[in-house]
Amino acid sequence: MKKYFIFFIIIPFLLAGCSSNNPAIIASDDYGWVLIWEDNFNSENYDMWEKANHTFAKNLARFNPENAIIDDGILRLKLTGEPQASRDYSGAEYRSRENYSFGRYETRMKVAKGDGIITAFFTYEDDQNGLNEIDVEFRGNNTNEIHFNNWTSIKDENSEIIKLNFDASEAFHDYIIEWQPGHIKWYVDGEMLYETKKDIPQGDQRVIMNIWISDDKSKTGLLNEDELPTEAKFDYVKFYTK
């Protein structure tokens, strides 16, 4: 199937003529969401995305730009046993250059399986305005569970763990974050699984996808190096506003 990247410039008077059959508009609850951009990963879009080269305190891997690869319409984020700078392992992170605000963030992904391994799709920014983060996260030691998290600079993590009726490492599934000023909703394969109205981030954020190794063995299990290399796969990312 042919895939493509689209950026929509919305002219207000055109919206009055849009219908539910217009592919740039979809329905979600009582809202009409307008597709602003999508990337189907046919090729590298250097103006939109960058490959990270950093790490953080709880990450046993360091992100290596060479581990983020676009291949046959799929973004592949690899995790390997190759040392990278100060870390013994190499992960991958793909993130938007621009920050975005309230809207609907959607991806189709297949996560990595294995103790200690984290696959995530999320929005994030930590700048002069403080920390803001909204997560869809999987721990590789139990890919039948999904973690929905949200953070602000003045509050600890709010987290919800939900059991799925499938193994997210075996096939691609659709994941959505709907972020509005007063609430966040998370969807899996079109079904809303969780909503929160607590501690909603207000600052603009980047869109990020990554794979890494957690140092918290009590929650994620102890890494088995025999399971490396592994990878998480992303089919597309879309962003809507209303």
Q: What structural domains does the chain harbor?
A: 26-241 (2.60.120.200)
Span 90-105, average pLDDT: 97
Question: Would residue 137 show up in a list of annotated catalytic residues for this protein?
Answer: yes
How many Å apart are CA 124 and CA 109, to the nearest integer?
A: 19
Structure confidence at residue 129 (pLDDT): 66
| Residue 219 DSSP label | H
Higher pLDDT, residue 6 or 184: 184
Q: Which regions of 45-154 does DSSP assign to beta strands (E)?
A: 49-51, 61-63, 68-71, 74-79, 89-96, 103-110, 117-127, 130-139, 145-152
Nearest of 236, 238, 185, 201 to residue 41 by alpha carbon = 236
Res 124 pLDDT > 90 = yes
Give the confidence band of 31 by pLDDT, cuts at 50, 70, 90: low
Residue 134: helix, strand or coil by DSSP?
A: strand
Question: Would residue 157 show up in a list of annotated catalytic residues for this protein?
Answer: no
Span 37-62, average pLDDT: 96
How many Å apart are CA 216 and CA 198, to the nearest integer?
A: 26
8 A C-beta contact, residue 188 and residue 164: yes
Count Cβ atoms within 10 A of the Cβ of residue 201 and give its class: 0-12 exposed, 13-18 middle, 19 or more buried. Answer: buried
Nearest of 5, 6, 8 to residue 44 by alpha carbon = 5
Q: Which of 125, 133, 178, 231 is catalytic?
A: 133
Structure confidence at residue 152 (pLDDT): 87
Whether the link from the prior residue into 229 is cis, omega within 30° of 0, is yes
Q: Which of 38, 106, 137, 231 is catalytic?
A: 137
Span 184-192, average pLDDT: 97
Q: Each residue of 129-186: pLDDT tens digit?
A: 678 899 999 999 999 999 999 988 766 678 999 999 999 999 999 999 999 999 999 9
